[in-house]
Amino acid sequence: MLNQNRVVVAMSGGVDSSLAAAILKEKGYEVIGITMKIWPSEETPVDNENSCCSLSAVEDARSVAYKLDIPFYVVNFEDLFKRTVIKNFKEEYSQARTPNPCVVCNKVIKFSAFLNKAKELGAYYMATGHYAKIIQNDTGRYLLKRAADLDKDQTYMLYNLTQEQLEHTMFPLSDHTKSKTRDLAKDYNLRVHDKPESQEICFIPDDNYRRFLKENYPEIIESGPILDLEGNKLGKHRGLPFYTIGQRRGLGLESNKKWYVVDMDSDRNALIVGDNEDVFKEELIVEKINWISIEKLTESKKVQAKIRYNSPSAEATLYPVDKNTVKVVFEEPQRAITPGQSAVFYNEDIVVGGGVIKE
C-alpha cells in the first residue's frame, strides 16, 4: 500500500527541484530524493557543469539531500532514454520535423518511469520543480493550471499528463516566482541557490543540435534542392535537419530577395522557400492528442492555443477529426507552424489538452 505521506522528488541538482524537496520536508512529508541518470556522463561535454546530465549536477543534488537529511539515490534510465527520447529526436529530424525532446521526456521518463520508481519505494507522490499547478474540480477530475509566475509557467511541456499521473504528482513551486525560489533556497542555505539555469537540451549541453545530429546520425543528413513555391530550383541545402520553418538567415542563396523557409519536403528532400507572408498559416492538424480538462472532444471547442513554448496563446477553434486527431483553426494566421512541435490548448489558465503538430 502506498504511503500518502511519502514523496519522491526528482532532483536535477538545480535550484528548483532542490527547493521543492526542502518545502516538502518542512511540510512534514517523508521525502526521498532521486536523480535520474539519463545520458552517459562521458558523452556530456565536461565544460558545461550546469547540464543535468553532468557529474557535478549529481553531486549538487546529493549535497542538497545531505543538507536536508533525506535519503538520496541515483536511478539509471540511460537505456530507456535512448530507446525513446533520443530515438524520437532522430526519427523526427529524419522526417523533416522539429521535435521537442522535453515533451517526450516528461511523458516517458519523468512522469511514467520515474513515477513507477516512486511507487516501488512505497510513495504515493512524486514531485518536481516544474512551475505549474494541479487542482481538482467538483467532479473529482484533476486539472493542470498555469503557474502563478506566467513567465516561468511550464504547463506547455506537461500536457501529456494523465489523470493518474496528476493524482500522484506535486508541484511545490506552483505559487512561486523564480526570484522567490532563489531567495527561499538561500534562506534554506542550499548552495545551489544562485546556480545558473540550464536552457539547452539536456543531452546537448552546448545547445548545438546540428553538431549532435551530424556526429551521431550523419545518415539522415543529405544535401538537396532549395525550391521556391513554383518548384524552381534556387540553390542547394546542406541537409533538412539543419533548417526550421520560418528561418531566413543561413540559407546560402545568392539573391537580394529575402527568402524564408516555408516547408520541408522529406519525400523530395527539398527545402521550400517563399516570402515572409507565406510562413503564416491559419490551420493545422494535431495528432497524438492527450486531453486533461475534458475526457474527449465531441464537437467544436473554442480555446487559446500555443504552437511553441515561447509563443503567446492565440484564439482558435478545435474540430474533432478522430479519437487522436484534431484540426485547429486560428482566428488570426500564425507564423511558422512547425510539424513535430506541440500545440497545447488552454481555457484561460486551465490546460484543455495538447498534441503533436502533424501538418
- pLDDT for 39: 75
**Taking all residues of the chain, what is their mean pLDDT, rounded to a whole number?**
92
Higher-pLDDT residue of 185 and 74 is 74
In angstroms, the CA 328 to CA 354 distance is: 11
In angstroms, the CA 299 to CA 113 distance is: 34
CATH topology of domain 279-357: Elongation Factor Tu (Ef-tu); domain 3 (2.40.30)
pLDDT in tens, 6-58: 999 999 989 999 999 999 999 999 999 999 988 765 444 444 455 555 678 88
Q: Are 344 and 159 in contact (CB under 8 A)?
A: yes
Superfamily (CATH) of domain 222-274: Adenine nucleotide alpha hydrolases-like domains (2.30.30.280)
Sign of torsion over alpha carbons 63, 65, 69, 74: negative
What's 3-187's CATH class? alpha beta
Which letter, b or e, does each residue of 159-183 get, where b requires 16 or more Cβ atoms within 10 Å of its Cβ?
Answer: bbbeeebbebbbbbbbebbeeebbe
Secondary structure letter of residue 292 according to DSSP: S
- pLDDT for 55: 72
Q: At a CB cut-off of 8 Å and minimum separation 6, what does 192 contact?
A: 13, 14, 15, 18, 60, 64, 185
Secondary structure letter of residue 339 according to DSSP: B
Strands (E), 164-297: 169-170, 224-227, 233-237, 260-265, 270-274, 280-291
Catalytic residue chosen out of the listed positions 52, 53, 102, 202: 202
Strand-pairing partners, residue 291, are 353
- 147-156, 183-192, 278-287, 333-342: the lowest-pLDDT one: 183-192
pLDDT in tens, 219-232: 999 999 999 999 99
Q: Are 339 and 292 in contact (CB under 8 A)?
A: no
- In the numeric block, the cell 535519503 is attached to 71
- Mean pLDDT for 239-258 is 91
Strand-pairing partners, residue 125, are 7
pLDDT in tens, 126-184: 999 999 999 999 999 999 999 999 999 999 999 999 999 999 999 999 999 999 999 99
Q: Are 291 and 352 in contact (CB under 8 A)?
A: yes
Domain range list for the chain: 3-187, 222-274, 279-357
- pLDDT for 23: 97
Cell numbers representing residue 74 in the block: 541515483
pLDDT in tens, 293-326: 999 999 999 999 999 998 899 999 999 999 899 9
- pLDDT for 339: 96
| 53 counts as catalytic | no
Sign of torsion over alpha carbons 205, 210, 214, 218: positive
| 105 counts as catalytic | yes
Catalytic residue chosen out of the listed positions 52, 53, 102, 105: 105
Give one DSSP letter per residue of 155-185, joined into a string. Answer: GGGGTT--HHHHHTEE-TTTT--HHHHHHHH
- pLDDT for 45: 44
- pLDDT for 79: 94
Of the CA atoms within 13 Å of residue 266, those in its CB half-sphere come to: 15
- Mean pLDDT for 322-341 is 96
The torsion angles phi and psi of 230, rounded to 5 degrees, stand at -95, 0
Q: Are 328 and 310 in contact (CB under 8 A)?
A: no
- 85-94, 197-206, 323-332: the lowest-pLDDT one: 197-206
Cell numbers representing residue 347 in the block: 481555457
